[in-house]
Amino acid sequence: MSKDCNTIHQWFNGMKKHSFSFNEQEIPENGIYILFEKGEFAHSTNRIVRIGTHTGNNKLRSRLKEHFVNENKDRSIFRKNIGRALLNKNNDPFLKQWELDLTTKKSKEKYFKNVDFKKQKETEKRVTKYIQDNVSFVVFQVDDKNKRLEIESKIISTVSLCDECKSSKNWLGNFSPKEKIKESGLWNIKELWKTPLSDKEMIKLKQMLNIN
């Protein structure tokens, strides 16, 4: 598995990298994104730290904004996980409140008295700063939703099954309360250690990335 993981690391690292504030016009409307993080290396290049996509049609750009810009942890599992690790690193008891999902009006009403909203806002700002300062990404177009989900899953599996991809000692994910993040070295929880890309799918992916 390490061989294919090495190959996709070289492919993705050879592509145009984006970081905050990215030019939306350079991002396809539908596709998969691959994240890199400062200080993380594997296969003699930048280590892949997260693979993600979107379900809604034409939503890739807004999905990336939910991670990089919009300060709402309950709309971005990536933000939620970065916040969990930042808080856990400091043994901050606010972690318990950070876990509450305040998406619906009902849950907002239910937890209103329990949540320190000033602290929540501060934490959102820290998450934004961390992501904008440390995370970069590449994207590639995949128009079909089922195809996107399948390729996303298989890339996650290919990278998580690699024995050469290791997080650095100081990686923020090592402070995550989520075992799977620590163990996999990825800001992903689903689709780990499942079916990796086959040889045929590697060839198709290469074509999708326009690599000769």
Please state, in angstroms and rounded to a whole number, the distance separating the CA atoms of residues 136 and 142: 20
The count of residues interacting with Zn ion (CB under 5 A) is 4
**Of 133-162, which residues contact Zn ion (CB under 5 A)?**
162
The residue among 128 and 160 lying less far from Zn ion, judged by its C-beta, is 160
Residues 199-208: contacts with CB under 8 Å, at least 24 apart: 201/151, 201/154, 202/4, 202/7, 202/8, 205/8, 205/11, 205/151, 206/11, 208/140, 208/141, 208/142
Torsion of CA 191, 126, 71, 30, to 10 degrees: -40
Q: Please, which residue, 41 or 94, has the CB nearer to Zn ion? A: 41
Binding mask 162-201 for Zn ion (x = CB under 5 A): x-xx------------------------------------
Question: Is 24 a binder of Zn ion (CB under 5 A)?
Answer: no
Residue 86 vs 155, nearer CB to Zn ion: 155
28 neighbors 139 (Cβ within 8 angstroms): yes
Work out how close the CB of 124 gets to Zn ion at its nearest, in angstroms, rounded to a whole number: 32
Q: How far is the CB of 11 from Zn ion (least distance, A)?
A: 12
Interacting residues with Zn ion between 73 and 112 (CB under 5 A): none
128 within 8 A of 11, measured Cβ to Cβ: no
- Residues contributing to the site for Zn ion (CB under 5 A): 5, 162, 164-165
